[in-house]
Structure 1
Amino acid sequence: MHPQQVSLRGIDKIAKSCLTVRVLSELSSYSDVVDLHVATSETVSRAAFVSLARQTLRAQFTLLISFLAFLPNLVLTLGSAPTLGWSQTLWIGVVALVSALSGYVLSGALLRPLHRLELEVGQGTFAQGHTDDPREIRALRQAFSSLITRLSTEQSRRNAFMATLVHDLKTPLIATSHLTRALTEWPMPDAERREVGSQMQAETARLLTLVGQMADAHRFEREEVRLERRPTALGEVLGNVARRLEPQARARGLRLSVSGTGTAPVDPAALERAVGNLADNALRYATGEVRLRVTPGGVQVQDDGPGLSAELADLAQPFNAQPTTIAGQQYTAGSAGLGLFIARRISEAHGGELTYHRTPAALPTGSPPPGFNPPLPSASPPARTWTTFTITLPEVTA
């Protein structure tokens, strides 16, 4: 054979071998891709199924009921026939299908009261229960009803408060508008002009006080009161409040007094705000005197007015606008409720509380000397009773 022919045959064999190796390599790569795709598809399908089962309560019940129904049949079938024929395999498939259908139907029956409650909640008709409701569904229905009642009450209170707030804001604004018009358009002597200016300042101060109370109530309702405590002379705090409210007391013909001494670790600005709110309410209802006192347990605000017409817990709310009747006179509770709420929150932030009680005025004690018969008065004056608000404070020292 010619050497050139031998060389060509060798090259041809080498080329065929390389082609075979390449084809096998491509087939192997394709097989790996197919296996990876199948494995990925199975993983994704399994993850989607598990996610669906976790998100759907009915799917969980269906799987549980199906498993409990299918497992005993599978154990009995495998125990009776060690090797599975086509009939046993068909039987297992039929049992699995029947178990799945039974689980789906029974899960729907179990969850029917819950689905019915879901529809009624969406329609707002869930208050009336059904005789076939399980105990858990009845408890859930009652919880929904209580929640809706609380939300409705809170919304009604807020709406009423906003209406009262608009009125409280409108009154000083209208007064300021009239005073400004009189000051700019009408000729008047200097004395009257100064009087109008003083009235404008009073109305502006009233407006700023109300806005400040609103801001404090909104902040104290949403978060804790932040305090900067330091040892503070409580008498100085009460003195600052008295000096600020003295013009108001003088205008109403009331006596405003401060008594007592003591020191406590408090936030002086916050405590002054709380006492000021209580004293402002006291000046509104007092008939003759308002007392600011330092006691061993905290500070007190006393007045000789008629007292509260309801419980302190009901009135000391940030959005309480229900009118209250005190001594036959009707008052709007909006700003008063704000003041009581702010005082209560500041008291709690200091580790104390805001309390309220009524006490009769102190009467003379002791027995008269022998043979002394005091003359009877022709008409006994009405008994005097003190309305006392107490802000309890820990660690009060003399």
Structure 2
Amino acid sequence: MRRFAPASLSLRLVALFGLLAMVILAALGTYLSHSLHVQLERRDDEELAGKCRSINHLVEHAASLEDILARRHLVLDTLTGHDQLLVRIARADGSTLLESHDPTRTPPGIDLSQVDIRAWDSIQSWKLGDLRARYVASKPVTRSGEQAVVLVVRTASDRMLLLAEYRSDVWWAAGVGALLAILMSYFLVRSGLRPLRTMAAQTRAVSANRLDTRLDLQAAPRELHEIVESFNEMLDRLHRSFQQLSQFSADLAHDVRTPLNNLMVQTQVALGKPRGIDEYQALLSSNIEEYERLSRMMESMLFLARAENAHVVLQWQELDVAQELTRIADYFEGIADEAQVRLVVQGAGRLQADATLLRRAVGNLVANAIRYTPADGVIRLQVDAAGDGMEISVSNPGAGIPAEQLERLFDRFYRADPSRSSAGGSSGLGLAIVRSIMMLHGGQASVTSSPGQLTVFSLRFPGRSAV
């Protein structure tokens, strides 16, 4: 099924503005028309009631009903200038006494005797076919005591006819106003969206070689500040990631090149002339060391790649932390003796974690600590409660780490002391693996250090832990 592309933002805004203008103008025109209708109808009713009072006055001052017929011209004079007013004066028994029936002002088919009088001395509505009229009826009494029935009907109104024309003009004005609003909104929307076009032009300038480009926050409207800030933060993250990736590629090439060069040079030297069996065996032993170094590097990189893509499945189990730390200390006891340092385990507690990954993370920290601890130094493996979690720390004395290097310690291939990059076969990936393991556990790894003081690496496990 074909999917239609969404309409542009400009078109949507123009359509919404146009619709809004039409609704507002239509509502305003309707309100004005209704308000004028109410006012004109009230004035017509006042006039209708006034004519009824005038005729009642004539009837009440007449000597008798017959006298009204003799003074017929006074009743008709009352209606002069009001062609839409009809009058019927009837006797008490309902027979017509007088009726204004001038053909020039009486619509055809109107029979005032058919009016169903529902109330007296109040204005009512009356409908006969397509004709709508309003009337008022009363029962005045002559001086002789004879009762009459006076009915005054308005069949039409000049004001209402004017209102119909006014209503038509209002709708025309509303339509033209809506059209003008749509045209004006088009230009206003284009002007209002100019900052977005400017931002689009700035973003088109961003490339792999210009990741330091940032959108101008001051030039953007206040409503777009959050978007601009978020976009700039995204560019900052991309810039840092790109720099780290570039540095990672360079470090990887450097670290792989060293063992490969060693293998190639040693092999070329060995092939330069015939050698004895002992020399070939020594060459193969040296090559095995380089191969093992490459293998460890590839294994570490594979683990980091799997961890970042959440392909590592944790085997959760409850662990006795002190027992695990003691096991790690026993494993590194031989290496520590050679380096003339001691390992001390302190604290106790239990936590939920993957045992293999926990041992690998702490083991990497211990291996680093042994590498950089001076002779006769003490490395402490300590566990403490941290809120509802658990914190494992590995501390060691030594030269310390400068503050500007602390943030990069967990980056891949980064070494605080490049001169010792090959010590102990270090690949520069150990701390990066520690951070990935802690991320898999939902925790975090951190380090505190200062020159000449203790260096403390901490592994903080979250709320799964229990003391």
Pick the TM interval, shorter chain. Answer: 0.5 to 0.7
Alpha-carbon distance in 2 for matches of 1:170, 1:318: 20
Task: List runs of 5+ in structure 2 lacking aligned partners.
Answer: 37-162, 207-212, 385-390
1:338 correspondence with 2:406 = no
Alpha-carbon distance in 1 for matches of 2:438, 2:175: 72
Matches within 5 A, 1:134-149: 134-149=221-236
Q: For residue 122 of structure 1, what is the aligned residue in structure 2?
A: 204
Q: CA deviation at 1:106?
A: 2.2
Q: 1:142 to 1:228 in 2, by over 3 A?
A: closer
Alpha-carbon distance in 2 for matches of 1:226, 1:290: 37
1:305 correspondence with 2:393 = no
Q: For residue 64 of structure 1, what is the aligned residue in structure 2?
A: 16
Alpha-carbon distance in 2 for matches of 1:291, 1:165: 33
Alpha-carbon distance in 1 for matches of 2:167, 2:200: 48
Q: For residue 455 of structure 2, what is the aligned residue in structure 1?
A: 387
Is 1:158–1:319's contact at 8 Å kept on the other side of the alignment? no
Q: CA deviation at 1:193?
A: 4.3
Is 1:290–1:302's contact at 8 Å kept on the other side of the alignment? no
Q: 1:85 to 1:159 in 2, by over 3 A?
A: same
Q: For residue 299 of structure 2, what is the aligned residue in structure 1?
A: 212
Q: Which has the higher strand share?
A: 2
What's the Cα RMSD here? 4.0
Q: For residue 445 of structure 2, what is the aligned residue in structure 1?
A: 354
Q: CA deviation at 1:169?
A: 0.9
Task: List runs of 5+ in structure 1 lacking aligned partners.
Answer: 1-47, 361-383
Alpha-carbon distance in 2 for matches of 1:386, 1:77: 82
Is 2:406–2:447's contact at 8 Å kept on the other side of the alignment? no
TM-score (norm 1): 0.62
Q: For residue 276 of structure 1, what is the aligned residue in structure 2?
A: 363
Alpha-carbon distance in 2 for matches of 1:121, 1:211: 37
Is 2:18–2:181's contact at 8 Å kept on the other side of the alignment? yes
Q: CA deviation at 1:204?
A: 1.9
Corresponding letter in the other structure for 1:309: P
Q: For residue 144 of structure 2, what is the aligned residue in structure 1?
A: none
Matches within 5 A, 1:207-246: 207-223=294-310, 226-230=313-317, 231=319, 233-234=323-324, 235-242=326-333, 246=335
TM-score (norm 2): 0.54
Q: CA deviation at 1:71?
A: 3.2
Alpha-carbon distance in 2 for matches of 1:194, 1:93: 98
Q: CA deviation at 1:342?
A: 1.7
Alpha-carbon distance in 1 for matches of 2:303, 2:328: 19
Is 2:401–2:449's contact at 8 Å kept on the other side of the alignment? no
Is 1:307–1:358's contact at 8 Å kept on the other side of the alignment? yes
Q: CA deviation at 1:395?
A: 4.7
Instruction: Say how many residue pairs are matched.
Output: 311
Is 2:410–2:435's contact at 8 Å kept on the other side of the alignment? no
1:267 correspondence with 2:360 = no
Q: Which has the higher helix share?
A: 1
Is 1:227–1:267's contact at 8 Å kept on the other side of the alignment? yes
Q: CA deviation at 1:171?
A: 0.7
1:291-339 CA-partner distances (Å, limit 9, x unpaired): 5655343655444431222368612434464x6458xx6869xx77532
Alpha-carbon distance in 2 for matches of 1:109, 1:176: 67
Alpha-carbon distance in 2 for matches of 1:299, 1:77: 76
Alpha-carbon distance in 2 for matches of 1:194, 1:100: 89
1:151 correspondence with 2:238 = yes
Is 1:354–1:391's contact at 8 Å kept on the other side of the alignment? yes
Pairing partner for 2:256 from 155, 161, 169: 169
Q: CA deviation at 1:168?
A: 0.6
Q: CA deviation at 1:134?
A: 1.8
Alpha-carbon distance in 2 for matches of 1:283, 1:63: 71
1:328-369 CA-partner distances (Å, limit 9, x unpaired): x6869xx77532122133245456543434599xxxxxxxxx
Alpha-carbon distance in 2 for matches of 1:181, 1:214: 29
Alpha-carbon distance in 2 for matches of 1:188, 1:345: 46
Is 1:256–1:290's contact at 8 Å kept on the other side of the alignment? yes
Secondary structure of 1:55's counterpart equals: coil
Q: 1:119 to 1:75 in 2, by over 3 A?
A: same
Q: For residue 289 of structure 2, what is the aligned residue in structure 1?
A: 202
Alpha-carbon distance in 2 for matches of 1:241, 1:220: 26
Corresponding letter in the other structure for 1:254: A
Alpha-carbon distance in 2 for matches of 1:129, 1:294: 49
Alpha-carbon distance in 2 for matches of 1:263, 1:77: 79
Corresponding letter in the other structure for 2:302: A
Corresponding letter in the other structure for 2:232: S
Corresponding letter in the other structure for 2:455: T
Secondary structure of 1:170's counterpart equals: helix
Q: For residue 94 of structure 1, what is the aligned residue in structure 2?
A: 176
Higher Rg of the two aligned structures? 2
Corresponding letter in the other structure for 1:103: S
Q: 1:237 to 1:143 in 2, by over 3 A?
A: same
Corresponding letter in the other structure for 1:97: L
Corresponding letter in the other structure for 2:176: V
